[in-house]
Amino acid sequence: MEGVACPSVESNPMTQPNYTLTFACYNQLDYTQQFIASLDRDEVDFSRIVAVDNGSTDGTREWLGQQGFGAVILNNRNLGCGAAWNQGALAIQSKWTVVMNNDVICAKGWLRNLLASAEANHLHIASPAMVEGELNYDFAAWATQAQDSMHGYIRQGAPHAVCMAIRDDVWNEIGYFMPVPKLLGYEDGIFFQRALEAGLNTGTTADSWLHHYGMTTQKALKLEMKLDQKDSLGNRNLMRLYMAQTWVARKLARYQRRSLLKTTRAHELATYGKTVHALNRKAGAPWEWV
């Protein structure tokens, strides 16, 4: 389904739905500090934040304990994203659980706008639009301009795991994330596949924007494990087992996703001159619209 422009959403912090914001860490303290610094304390209630550390050794654990979060969970080893996300979602249970990466920068109003858009458009899972890659541009100015020009637009059926607001009835409908450490990055794909099969309403909203540095923890893990950056961290065969799809079904689903993305991307570029997902790979190079 092609993305659609939806009724405008007014963001009122007094009527904002109750939420939990949770993220997982494995080292990368500098990125985590940038992420937390980008959160507006007038918008984000730090008592609603749950940080889950997966065995960091770079001072992350100590730093997290000093931030006044609602909860800090310290695992003694890397349990993977699935288990950590589940721990965060269960620690403080809310109507909305916002699961996100720790290598992001948040635009002003991103949380209010994300949840307001999700409520107004009856989404079960909602993600913000984002730019990925180098932070060598004025993100605040970009986000303001992009929100204004694409206000009310939803790319239907296309959430992402960099940040996802999950409504509480989703857990009852399809369960939680697969807590299998060997999946290492495939947890989101399995979760989204189950959401698709259950007919849940999902999307990415242009009313909310993030900058995502991109796979910082996975890149560090590959170095730690002496893998090439092109190698997959997770067990692909295990992922296929949990998805319970035949080879034909997987290929058909992949074709349908790519076809939908191509159509949606063309629509967004023709209408807005941009898309809800941009790649800024290196200085001086034009952005790629995904």
What tens digit of pLDDT does each residue of 3-51 get?
Answer: 444 433 344 443 445 999 999 999 999 999 999 999 999 999 999 999 9
User: For all residues of the chain together, what is the average pLDDT?
Assistant: 86
What domains are defined for the chain?
Answer: 16-289 (3.90.550.10)
Q: Which of 242, 140, 79 is nearest to 88 (CA)?
A: 79
Determine the average pLDDT of the residues in 135-147.
Answer: 96
**pTM for the full predicted model:** 0.85
pLDDT band at residue 214 using 50, 70 and 90 as cut-offs: confident
The answer to whether 237 and 188 have CB atoms below 8 angstroms apart is no
Per-residue buried b or exposed e for 112-131, using 16+ beta carbons within 10 Å of the residue's own CB: bbbbbbbbbbebbbbbbbbb
Res 260: pLDDT:
83
Q: How far is the C-alpha of 44 from the C-alpha of 112, rounded, in Å?
A: 9
- Tell me: pLDDT of 191 over 90: yes
Res 215: pLDDT:
63
Give the range with max mean pLDDT: 157-161, 235-239, 254-258, 268-272.
268-272
